Amino acid sequence: MKGARAADNGIMGMNVESGIQTEYRAYDFDEQQARRRRWTIIGAVLAGLVALGVIGYALFGGNKAKPAPPPPPGVTVIVPGSTDVVTTISATGTLAAKREMPVGIAGEGGMVQAVLVEPGSWVKAGQTLAVIERSVQTQQAASLAASVRVARADAQLAQAELDRAKALVARGFISKADIDRRTATRDAAVARVAVAEAQLGESRAQIGRLNIRSPASGLVLTRAVEPGQVVGAGAGALFRVAKDGEIEIRAQLAEQDIARLKVGDTAQVTPIGGSRAFTGTVWQISPVIDPQTRQGTARIQLRYDPALRPGGFASASIRSGSVKAPQLPESAVLHDDKGSFVYVVGPDNKVVRNEVKTGDVSDAGVVVLSGLQGNEKVVLSAGAFLNPGDKVTPQLSNRPAAR
C-alpha cells in the first residue's frame, strides 16, 4: 500500500511537474505572441513615421523644382509708317456780307414818297432805292432857273451896249472911260449869270440827293424805311447792301491755329442746320489777337448762294496744307499730366514710353507731328494697363500701315 501510494505520489508528482511545465510552456507561447504583436505595432509606427518624414521632406524640404513662369502678356502693335496728311483746322463763326454798305440820307431829307426795292433784290450801281417828296425843292429850282435867264438877258444887254460903244469910240462920241465902265458892267452881268447857274446847279443836286441810290451793285440785305416816313440826315441806314452779293464767314480761331493759316487757304463752310458745304477762300487774317479770349478772326469769302444768310452761324473746316507724318488710331495715343505719349515695344520686347506731339484728330486717326519715325511697333490698345519696362509678346495688327 505504501508502495502503491508512493507510486501514486510519484505519478502525481510527475503529473504536477508536467502540468507546471505545460503551464510554463503555454505562458512562454503567449508571451512570445504578445512580444511579436508589440514589435509589429512598433514597426508599423516606425514605418509610418518614416513615410511621413519622406513625404514631408519631399513636400517642404530639399531642392524643390519651381514652376515655369507664365509667358509675357500679348499686346497688339501697329507699325504706322508715314503718309501725307492734310491738316485741317475747325472753327465756327458768323456769316456776314464781305462788304456791307449802309445806305442812308445824303441830303436834308423829307417825307419818303416811294420805296422801290425789297430785301433780297439785286440792284445796280446808282440805282434808285427810294424817292423822297420834292415839291418844294422843285419850285425852288424853277425860281433859280428863271434867275439864270434874267442874268443871261442882262449879260446880253451889257454886251450889246459895249459893242455899240466901241463902234463910237473911233468917231469921238464916247470916251475911253465910258468904254471901261460898259466893259465892267458887261463883266458883272456875266458873273451874275455864273452865280445864278451855280445856284440852280446846287438846287438840282439837292433834288438829286432826294433819290436814295445804291453806291454799288449788290444784294439788298435790309430795308428800314416805308412810304410816308419822314427821314433826315440823322435817320441812320435805311438800306444795307452786300457789295456784289459776296458773303463771308468770320471764323474765330485759337491763337495757335491762326498762326498756321495763310491767305489763300481753302475752306469748307457748312451753315448750322444744313448739310450742304460751300467752298470758300481765306482772304484776310486778323493781325491782332484778342487779349481776353486769345482768339483771332479769319475771314473766309464765299460766292453768293440763297442758303448763305448773313447773321447766321456756320462751321468751317480750313485746309492749312499737308505734312508727312505718322497717323495712329486714337486708342494708341494716351494722355496724362505730362502730355501725350505712346507705348513702343523695343527689340527686347519691353515697353518704352515715347512722348509725342499730336496734330489734327479726324476719323482717320491722330496725326503725330513729333516723337515717332513711323517704323516703331506702337501698342495699339490696352496701353493703360502697361508700365514702362513691362515685357510683352507683340502681335502685329492686320491693319494696313500708312506709307
| CA–CA distance, 246 with 101 (Å, rounded to integer) | 12
Pairing of strands 357-362, 365-370: antiparallel
Q: Where are the domains of the chain?
A: 1-66, 75-82+326-396, 91-96+246-324, 134-209
Single-letter amino acid code for the residue at 140: Q
Task: Please report where in the chains the cell 473746316 appears, as a residue.
Answer: 317
Q: CA 69, 71, 73: angle at the middle one, nearest 5?
A: 130
pLDDT at 68: 63
Three cell numbers at 122?
439785286
- Which one is the CATH code of 75-82+326-396: 2.40.420.20, 3.30.360.10, 2.130.10.10, 3.40.640.10? 2.40.420.20
Three cell numbers at 142?
424853277
Using CA atoms, how far residue 50 sits from 40, 47, 57, 63, 170, in Å, is: 15, 5, 10, 20, 176
CB 213 within 8 A of CB 129: yes
CB 322 within 8 A of CB 86: yes
Q: Torsion angle of alpha carbons 21, 26, 32, 33, nearest 10°?
A: 170
Task: Please report where in the chains the cell 447766321 appears, as a residue.
Answer: 312
pLDDT at 7: 45
379-400 per-position pLDDT tens digit: 988 777 888 888 888 888 876 5
All residue ranges of the chain with pLDDT < 50 are 1-20, 22-24, 401-403
Q: Which residue, 309, 136, 310, 132, is CA-closest to 225?
A: 132
Question: Over pLDDT 70: what percentage of the chain?
Answer: 83
190-230 per-position pLDDT tens digit: 999 999 999 888 888 888 888 889 999 999 999 999 999 88
- Dihedral sign for Cα 362, 364, 369, 371, please: positive
CB 230 within 8 A of CB 112: yes
In a 10 Å sphere around its CB, with 0-12 CB exposed, 13-18 middle and 19+ buried, how is residue 286 labelled? middle
Query: CB-hemisphere CA count at 13 Å for 140?
Result: 13
Assign a CATH topology to domain 91-96+246-324: Elongation Factor Tu (Ef-tu); domain 3 (2.40.30)
The alpha-helical segments, DSSP class H, found in 82-221 are: 135-169, 176-209
What φ, ψ does residue 320 adopt, rounded to 5°? -110, 30
Q: Which residues, at least 6 apart from 359, have a Cβ–Cβ distance to it below 8 Å? A: 85, 87, 323, 325, 366, 367, 368, 369
CB 325 within 8 A of CB 80: no
pLDDT at 209: 81
Residue/partner pairs of 134-143 with CB below 8 Å, 24 or more apart: 134/110, 134/207, 134/210, 137/203, 137/206, 137/207, 137/210, 138/207, 140/203, 141/200, 141/203, 141/204, 141/207
| CA–CA distance, 256 with 295 (Å, rounded to integer) | 9
Using CA atoms, how far residue 202 sits from 138, 155, 196, 205, 363, in Å, is: 12, 21, 10, 5, 68
CATH architecture type of domain 134-209: Orthogonal Bundle (1.10)
